[in-house]
Amino acid sequence: MRLLKMALEPKDRLVLQAGCEHPWPCSGKPAIVFHDRGKIFTSERARQVLVDRLGIITEQAPPYAPSAKGTVESLFRWMTQRFERRLPNTSYGVHDAKEAAEAGGMTLEELERCFYQAVVDDYQQDWDKLRRQRKSVLWEHAVAQSGVPQYLGSPDDLKLLLMKAINRKTPGQGYHTSSGNRLSFHGRWYVCPGLLSRLQGREFEVYFDRRDVNVLYLFVEDSYVGEAYCTEFMGSRVSEWEARAMRKHDEIQAKDAREQGREARARTQEEAGSHRKRRGAEIRASEHSRQWDRQREGIHPAEVLERLASVEAKQTAQPKLPPAVPDADPDRPVRPLRIRTLREEPLS
């Protein structure tokens, strides 16, 4: 879907960002998409977008017929033999994965910039021996003769159209919105006040881009009704792969926490079982003492009870000081002071 979006949109912005020396005029809606038997091209979603919405004919390559794929295979050969080997800090010829990563040392932005420059300034300016002209000039001549249909819709509509879609079925099939205007999607909660409550019990579709799952776009009968936001991500960009890795990490941490809690509970139960008899005796003694205290009023007269209460109130627990421990620091040894004895005077 991203490749189709790149084909439909103008590429002037990409040329400026990559710093290309030549323009990139190739844009338009293709009439036929020639593809192999890949999973993405045989999906129902791709058929709906390409055939039903955009009116593009999809043609599948016959099986076991390499001659029918010559046009596409030539691009792969250009990628492996001309583009990859000319990258700065290339790791060509290094077969170890770690050494290849250290030799390459490129970020994704640098790789995209080099790829755009290679396509615009190298591939499209290459000489075609069969037609005896540059490929960019051949494109301009073909456009001048027959023209290329353009996508005339809104760029935002194109983004929503090419997003991945998942059908949220009725509650009978297990997918539904919960109470409190929340939607569960890939193990996380999405909120949209006022909208999800009206979608309870109805069938709708969720559109999202796998590069950023912070926002879900909701459609009812192919009509855009609103979007739902993930409260856990707090507006930050998180891809589907990053979200899956975060969820896996959280599950591992939660499992470790449960194991520690289980060990603590087992230790508590073991200690409780080992001291059961002593604790039972203490409880029985405390209960007997409490019962005798309640019966004290029936044992002594009121005058004696008042005197006993006054005596009990005067008894205060004497605080005990901790034992004196000398400082054991070797840099500051304890030096006992000498005690001078006084001379006793004779009694007169």
Same domain for 170 and 108, yes or no, is no
Residue 310 lies in a domain: no
Same domain? 100 vs 167: no
Are 224 and 217 a contacting pair, CB within 8 Å?
A: yes
344 domain residue, yes or no: no
Asked if the structure places residue 298 within a domain, the reply is no
How many structural domains compose the chain?
A: 3
Q: Is residue 205 part of a domain?
A: yes
| Mean pLDDT, the chain, whole residue set | 76
Q: Give residue 170's pLDDT.
A: 46
Range with the largest mean pLDDT of 90-94, 149-153, 181-185, 186-190: 186-190
**Considering 238, 262, 285, which residue would you say is the last residue of a domain?**
238
204, 219: one domain: yes
Instruction: Answer yes or no: do 48 and 70 share one domain.
Output: yes
Q: Which single residue is written with the structure tokens 């400026």?
A: 16
Question: In whole angstroms, what is the distance from residue 231 CA to residue 17 CA?
Answer: 33
User: Residue 235 contacts by C-beta under 8 Å, 6 or more apart in sequence?
Assistant: 214, 229
Q: Residues 63, 98: one domain?
A: yes
Beta bridge partners of 60: 35
> Quick check: is 299 in a domain?
no
Q: What is the average per-residue pLDDT within 114-141?
A: 84
| pLDDT tens-place string over residues 35-45 | 766 665 556 66
Residue 278's pLDDT band (boundaries 50, 70, 90)?
confident
Q: Is residue 315 a part of any domain in this protein?
A: no
Structural domain that includes position 80: 2-154
State pLDDT tens for residues 178-206.
555 778 888 888 888 778 777 777 778 88
**CATH number where 107 lies:** 3.30.420
Query: Going by C-beta distance under 8 Å and a sequence separation of 6 or more, which residues neighbour residue 47?
Result: 58
Residue 199 lies in a domain: yes
Residue 24 and residue 145 in one domain: yes
**Residue 342 within a domain:** no
Mark whether 6 and 150 lie in a shared domain.
yes
Final residue belonging to a domain, choices 258, 275, 292:
275
**Are residues 189 and 170 located together in one domain of the fold?**
yes
pLDDT in tens, 250-266: 899 999 999 988 888 88
289-345 per-position pLDDT tens digit? 888 887 777 777 888 878 877 777 776 556 677 877 766 666 766 677 777 777 777
Query: How far apart, in Å, are the Cα atoms of 331 and each of 325, 326, 327, 335, 336?
Result: 16, 13, 10, 12, 16
**Whether residue 6 is found in the same domain as residue 146:** yes
* Statement to judge: residues 149 and 184 lie in one domain: no
C-alpha to C-alpha distance for 92 and 113, rounded to whole angstroms = 19
